[in-house]
Amino acid sequence: MSPASPHSVGVEVARHTQGLDTVTEETDELAVEEPLEIRVEGQPVAVTMRTPGNDLDLVAGFLLTEGVIDGWDDVHAMAHVVDPAVPRENTVDTVLAAGVPAARARSADRAFYASSSCGICGKTTIDRIFSRIEPVGPPPLDDPLLRVLHDLPDRLRTVQTAFQRTGGLHAAGLFDGTGELLVMREDIGRHNAVDKVIGAAIQTDLDLRQTLLVVSGRAGFEIVQKALVAGIPLLAAVGAPSSLAADLARRGGMVLVGFLRNGRFNRYGRLSPSPGAPPVG
């Protein structure tokens, strides 16, 4: 193997182009996957498999969408923990601002969701989410945006430099109501890409309630959950949503778009929620 970038690594491969008859030896680039340990006040909170790069954005987004912090003001300091025994910095520790209880990170009421492989994603999990968030307000869904919505996956793809090298990374992008790309991040995990985008956004003055999120893969429960917690009113996915994701979007007043490709898309969820309306059971 040879290093190519923080996102990819060069690997020797034998390409079979015509069955077993034609073989060429080349170097291919594969997406890097390494563990990241997330700590709060020195205590381990979670480990996620991610593509190195934008780690602080990832941790900031993770802590927000999992309810440890309410915003960037809740963070006093965040940095990699340097360990000379490992080749890369694979641990990030966060010191919370004064008055923010570190116990949030260890609360028994919290749970980390593992998308479709999770066995606890059901009514109890959804009720727990709505115990700490408000339904999102009406999304910026008007005719000009509907007309430009088709173009957003292509706009996202043009800046996916790591994907173009490896073909193995998911992307998430935040756009404004005119279709302008505001933030883009890539990762081998689709939920990590979303956390990176949200984490980058909360460190600025960007109002997430005035944005829409586009993801390159499918829209699972965890992706919708993270977008709802962040206050994003519209989530668009190139792939399909799951039934639980659609239900969560409906209860949260979010517009969920699926199959956004080839000049078409499907809309799911409540299209015109009343501000502050309670979730529908």
Q: Which residues are catalytic?
A: 118
φ/ψ of residue 263, rounded to 5: 75, 20
Cα–Cα dist 259/45, whole Å? 34
Judge whether 232 and 136 are in contact, CB under 8 Å. yes
List the one residue out of 168, 166, 196 whose CA is nearest residue 183: 196
Q: For residue 208, what is the DSSP state?
A: G
User: CA triplet 205, 161, 139: central angle to 5 degrees?
Assistant: 40
Judge whether 205 and 71 are in contact, CB under 8 Å. no
Residue at token pair 């000009």: 144
Beta strands in the chain (DSSP E): 2-3, 8-16, 23-31, 34-40, 43-50, 75-80, 91-96, 170-175, 181-187, 212-215, 234-237, 255-261, 264-268
Judge whether 15 and 24 are in contact, CB under 8 Å. yes
Give the β-pairing of 23-31 and 34-40: unpaired
Cα–Cα dist 4/24, whole Å? 21
Distance separating the N- and C-terminal Cα atoms of the chain: 52
